[in-house]
Amino acid sequence: MLINQAWAQGAGASPGGGMESMLLIVLMFVVLYFLMIRPQMKRAKEHKAMIDALQKGDEVVTSGGVLGRISKLNENYVTLEIAADVEVQVQRPSVQLVLPKGTIKNIQ
């Protein structure tokens, strides 16, 4: 026929291979934790602390890129003054960055 038969190769596996492969998998999870999961948890904690510390008068940037000054605070929402007599209400977690005081000069 055209296709040769495939024969399994024997005597290639060592008896202690199970423990070594298990150790390799555990090592991979430890590296994954320290390189990806732990820094992400740290950033989330810093973001939550920043959101909890928001005050009236802070100048912020939202995740959508809206720049404004906080005029009202609620438990779940923040009202931003984005221009004179123009206010927008956004959710607190959408605030991404608190700017230094005096960054926004055109809102009176």
Confidence (pLDDT) at 21: 87
Q: Which of 90, 63, 64 is nearest to 77 (CA)?
A: 90
DSSP state of 94: G
- Confidence (pTM): 0.70
* Per-residue pLDDT tens listing for the chain (108 residues): 567 776 666 555 555 568 888 999 999 999 999 999 999 999 999 999 999 999 999 999 999 999 999 999 999 999 999 998 999 999 999 999 999 988 888 665
Backbone angles phi, psi at 93, to 5 degrees: -65, -15
55-99 maps to which CATH number? Answer: 2.30.30
C-alpha distance from residue 19 to each of 14, 15, 107 (Å): 11, 9, 66
Burial bucket for residue 34 (CB in 10 Å: 0-12, 13-18, 19+): exposed
